[in-house]
Amino acid sequence: MVTQRSPRERIGAEPRTKFSDLGEIHFGRKRVQPPRREIREFYRKAELRLDFPTLWLDDAKRQAISDAFARVVESDRYTVWGCAILKNHAHLFVRRHRDDARTMWARFAESSRDALRRLADASDDHPVWANHPYAVFLYHPDDVRRVEAYIAQNPVKEGLPSQSWPFVKPYDG
């Protein structure tokens, strides 16, 4: 989930000793991305160490997540400037709000987790989402527009069709 403020910070970060031997921990996006082969190898090794199976998000699951996000946006009156629901994660770009970032993340995560558990082969104790969302807080309109574009381009980069969700409003700043 991406909200407003800077510099970058982690919400609820936890130690990652279980994966330490797989490589250096880097928070956020690296400027120079490793080759796809290296990333696939990392995921292959890491998946064996996960406490729960990976939930891959197909079209039906992405729609269920979108519907859950839309319910939260409507009930809590959040303004969302961007949303990409990808194969194994989602990006949300939420305007600053009376609720703090942790509260907003919890609302979106809880609602979509419940929807996915009803739809997917996920046990009731499967967390669905990571316990350490990545939040970036932005102050400058240029940064907001850059992140809005980045999120909009994500599905296509992953080989998915462009996404347009009714609860997403264009940035007007």
pLDDT tens readout for residues 112-158: 999 998 887 788 888 899 877 778 899 999 999 999 999 999 999 99
Cα–Cα distances in Å, from 131 out to 72, 105, 111, 149, 157?
19, 10, 15, 26, 25
pLDDT of 65 > 90? The answer is yes
φ, ψ of residue 92 to 5 degrees: the values are -125, 135
pLDDT of 2 > 80? The answer is no
Q: What is the mean pLDDT of residues 91-103?
A: 94
pLDDT of 8 > 60? The answer is no
pLDDT bin (cut points 50, 70, 90) of residue 16 is: low
pLDDT of 9 > 80? The answer is no
Percent residues over pLDDT 70 in the chain: 90
pLDDT of 71 > 60? The answer is yes
Highest average pLDDT, of 6-10, 22-26, 111-115, comes from 111-115
How deeply is 59 buried, as exposed, middle or buried, from its count of CB atoms within 10 A (0-12, 13-18, 19+)? exposed
Rounded (10°) angle between helices 101-119 and 59-76:
140
pLDDT of 7 > 60? The answer is no
Q: What is the mean pLDDT of residues 33-56?
A: 88
pLDDT at site 10: 43
pLDDT at site 5: 34
116, 128 contact by CB (below 8 A): yes
pLDDT at site 60: 94
pLDDT at site 3: 38
23, 53 contact by CB (below 8 A): no
DSSP string, 44-66: HHHHTT-SS------HHHHHHHH
